[in-house]
A and B are shown apart, each in its own frame.
Chain A
């Protein structure tokens, strides 16, 4: 196999400072030849990390807790939760919005950034897409559990039923069903399509006949001909085109679950963009939480460079600032409306009500922490990034909790005000969903090529080609754009 050496251009003496920085943080560095790179990226499939088994067992135990809490919910009904009128929605819907929001970063990376020719997506897109899928599995469970009689969830689907009525299309529940099932289908197809060439690579390199046959089965007979690659690129780009509007539409629809209600704190036209921004924000926070340990454990510093971390941090800064603006707009809208209830909910109940502590933590975390990323040094400091990732991850859960519970618990009639407290089932469902996510994600890390081998090699070749071209021409490299 021939290797194209990557020409290293000399630092441009006339280049701008930004250019110099980009040179310092390339999207791939010190890459070996392609064969060695494939070996490096597929190596985690053949050997298990000593800690993996214990983490896998621990997350499996948490998943069992999830299953148990679901069982309790099935048998005892919603009464097992802390919900009660007027707080009819609480933890389950908070968890639902939180998980589905997290999923958005994966689609953003895989689809948006693909269409925008952002090369840095290549090394982390598989991981982020897996995150999307597993987050969606969790997200879709919560509204179903919330139905009261979850085994009749299919009543939400418009099918020719003997009931003689269609689902209420004016209700946001069927909208959610349509949005989430579309999202899951497109995400799964996109993820799997991207996997096919890498599964074929795993098939060709797997030790032992059984593993080769298993990977071979899932590789669907891929053998890497030119025709196959051409079809693959077309399908991949088409799916990216399909997935791109979903980044915006799915969480807009989720936000309408709230915005179409007349409750102060929910009934606001800013909700769709506000939710979409928050979704991408929380998703990138979780991407950081996943990418940093994976990069460290599997020594992926050559394909997931500081450049990636820098870009994720910048996206957190952008979405975090947009979110701060949304918070401000929400409060301003309530004040400007002059409506007694709007003003009370947004300005008094949130800031001084029973859940004020959560409101202030959420505001501090979600608004202030991303502002750290104005400094390049902090954008590439892995400890800072990980801590901020976790903080935002929690902060965004709190945001949904505040929106839902702090709006419901003090509605129009003070006589019906009610303090909400979760039960152990609520806590178990939340912890269990994190467990299930970890379980699925650890399985993914163990058995699936989690860095796109073929994508990375493709980018490597393009960069090499462009660098060579640029060197001859003497112009500023386009590569790092």
Chain B
């Protein structure tokens, strides 16, 4: 068959290169976009780690934990007994602070709370999704230290999330809790070091007969 070019060519000589580049770029994007999304969710930014949460009061954990050596459970008193660790009531703050700092502007929200009877609206730092059932009591009672999930709170000027809080992170421990557990006497210790000779975690696991059920869907999704 003879092709005669009576009319102008449909495409310029560069058209093939452009078309191929577009196809290659398209395919690359199809692969690259999910890959980048997968990378992004693994960054601390996507997970909300080390993100400053603005609180109504400039509460400094360093002073209270490191300086005054107050036990975590003095303020978060329900951690051993209920699902939620709890926050101190205004009265609990005042119990100590009536003697000190009370008249400063820093304490204004506490004074207001005392007058109105409305609790201080603390902002949540470590937020699990609604579809996850989480119970502080069982974790604390089985030897998961505060530090394990909340990090070195004793060094935090403002409390921040340090754990990725991904399901992978939860499962990491649920699949093999032994090495991460500590004696119940060390629950609130900050900077606890597992010594190789310390087999208390392993013993705790041995005592508990329900380890296999830790990876059941219904352990967390109820």
A residues engaging B (CB < 8 A)?
Answer: 1, 159-165, 203, 209, 212-213, 216-217, 220-221, 224
Q: In the assembled complex, which residues on chain B have CB atoms less than 8 Å from the CB atom of A217?
A: 19
Q: Given A159-B34, A217-B19, is A164 in contact with B10 using a C-beta cutoff of 8 Å?
A: no
Q: In the assembled complex, which residues on chain A have CB atoms less than 8 Å from the CB atom of B1?
A: 1, 224
B10 touches A163 (CB 8 A): no
A361 to B171, CA, bound (A): 52
Q: In the assembled complex, which residues on chain B have CB atoms less than 8 Å from the CB atom of A160?
A: 38
Q: Which residue of B lies closest to A203 (CB)?
A: B10
B171 touches A164 (CB 8 A): yes
Query: Would you give 20 A-B contacts (Cβ < 8 Å), ordered by A?
Result: A1-B1, A160-B38, A162-B41, A162-B42, A162-B164, A162-B166, A162-B167, A162-B168, A163-B167, A164-B166, A164-B167, A164-B169, A165-B167, A203-B10, A212-B10, A213-B10, A216-B11, A217-B19, A220-B19, A221-B19
Nearest 10 CB-CB pairings of A with B: A164-B168, A163-B167, A162-B166, A164-B171, A216-B10, A162-B168, A164-B167, A162-B41, A213-B10, A212-B10
A83 to B33, CA, bound (A): 36
Interface of A: prevailing SS: loop
CB of B116 within 8 A of chain A? Answer: no
Q: In the assembled complex, which residues on chain A have CB atoms less than 8 Å from the CB atom of B16?
A: 221
CB of B172 within 8 A of chain A? Answer: yes
Q: B144-187: contact bitstring with A at CB < 8 Å (1 yes, 0 no)?
A: 00000000000000000000101111111000000000000000
A379 to B213, CA, bound (A): 62
* Closest-CB distance, B164 to chain A (whole angstroms): 8
* Closest-CB distance, A461 to chain B (whole angstroms): 15
Q: In the assembled complex, which residues on chain B have CB atoms less than 8 Å from the CB atom of A162?
A: 41-42, 164, 166-169
A163 touches B38 (CB 8 A): no
Q: In the assembled complex, which residues on chain B have CB atoms less than 8 Å from the CB atom of A165?
A: 167, 171
Interface of B: prevailing SS: helix
Q: In the assembled complex, which residues on chain A have CB atoms less than 8 Å from the CB atom of B19?
A: 217, 220-221
Q: Which residue of B lies closest to A149 (CB)?
A: B131
B10 touches A209 (CB 8 A): yes
Q: Given A217-B19, A221-B16, is A163 in contact with B11 using a C-beta cutoff of 8 Å?
A: no
Q: In the assembled complex, which residues on chain A have CB atoms less than 8 Å from the CB atom of B166?
A: 162-164
* Closest-CB distance, B197 to chain A (whole angstroms): 30
Q: In the assembled complex, which residues on chain B have CB atoms less than 8 Å from the CB atom of A224?
A: 1
Which parts of B34-69 form the interface with A (CB within 8 Å)? 34, 38, 41-42
* Closest-CB distance, A260 to chain B (whole angstroms): 18
Report the interface size for chain B: residues with CB under 8 A from the other chain: 17
Q: Which residue of B lies closest to A219 (CB)?
A: B10
Q: In the assembled complex, which residues on chain B have CB atoms less than 8 Å from the CB atom of A161?
A: 168
Of the listed residues A162, A165, A213, the one surrounded by the most CB atoms of chain B closer than 10 A to its CB is A162
New A-B contacts (10) at CB < 8 Å, excluding given A159-B34, A164-B170: A1-B1, A159-B38, A160-B38, A162-B41, A162-B166, A163-B166, A163-B168, A164-B168, A216-B10, A216-B11
Q: In the assembled complex, which residues on chain A have CB atoms less than 8 Å from the CB atom of B42?
A: 162
A220 to B19, CA, bound (A): 9
A212 to B34, CA, bound (A): 35
A165 to B172, CA, bound (A): 11
* Closest-CB distance, A224 to chain B (whole angstroms): 8
Q: Given A162-B42, A163-B167, A165-B167, is A213 in contact with B11 using a C-beta cutoff of 8 Å?
A: yes
* Closest-CB distance, B206 to chain A (whole angstroms): 24
A344 to B1, CA, bound (A): 71
A72 to B169, CA, bound (A): 35
A457 to B170, CA, bound (A): 64
Q: Which residue of B lies closest to A216 (CB)?
A: B10
Q: Which residue of A lies closest to B165 (CB)?
A: A162
Q: In the assembled complex, which residues on chain A have CB atoms less than 8 Å from the CB atom of B164?
A: 162
* Closest-CB distance, A211 to chain B (whole angstroms): 11
A212 to B1, CA, bound (A): 20
A165 to B11, CA, bound (A): 50
Q: Which residue of A lies closest to B170 (CB)?
A: A164
A165 to B34, CA, bound (A): 18
A161 to B41, CA, bound (A): 9
Q: In the assembled complex, which residues on chain A have CB atoms less than 8 Å from the CB atom of B38?
A: 159-160
Q: In the assembled complex, which residues on chain A have CB atoms less than 8 Å from the CB atom of B11?
A: 213, 216
Q: Which residue of A lies closest to B172 (CB)?
A: A164
Q: In the assembled complex, which residues on chain A have CB atoms less than 8 Å from the CB atom of B169?
A: 162, 164
Q: In the assembled complex, which residues on chain B have CB atoms less than 8 Å from the CB atom of A220?
A: 19
Which parts of B55-98 form the interface with A (CB within 8 Å)? none
* Closest-CB distance, B25 to chain A (whole angstroms): 16
A159 to B19, CA, bound (A): 30
A155 to B186, CA, bound (A): 39
Q: Which residue of A lies closest to B8 (CB)?
A: A209
Q: In the assembled complex, which residues on chain B have CB atoms less than 8 Å from the CB atom of A221?
A: 16, 19
* Closest-CB distance, B150 to chain A (whole angstroms): 20
Q: Which residue of A lies closest to B167 (CB)?
A: A163
Q: Which residue of A lies closest to B164 (CB)?
A: A162
Q: B1-20: contact bitstring with A at CB < 8 Å (1 yes, 0 no)?
A: 10000000011000010010
* Closest-CB distance, A416 to chain B (whole angstroms): 21
* Closest-CB distance, B201 to chain A (whole angstroms): 21
* Closest-CB distance, A27 to chain B (whole angstroms): 27
* Closest-CB distance, A315 to chain B (whole angstroms): 38
* Closest-CB distance, B61 to chain A (whole angstroms): 28
Q: In the assembled complex, which residues on chain B have CB atoms less than 8 Å from the CB atom of A216?
A: 10-11
A164 to B175, CA, bound (A): 10
A18 to B213, CA, bound (A): 70
A221 to B16, CA, bound (A): 8
Q: Which residue of A lies closest to B41 (CB)?
A: A162
* Closest-CB distance, B159 to chain A (whole angstroms): 23
Q: In the assembled complex, which residues on chain A have CB atoms less than 8 Å from the CB atom of B41?
A: 162
A1 to B2, CA, bound (A): 10
Q: In the assembled complex, which residues on chain A have CB atoms less than 8 Å from the CB atom of B172?
A: 164
A160 to B37, CA, bound (A): 11
A160 to B42, CA, bound (A): 11
Q: Which residue of B lies closest to A1 (CB)?
A: B1
A124 to B165, CA, bound (A): 55
* Closest-CB distance, A34 to chain B (whole angstroms): 12
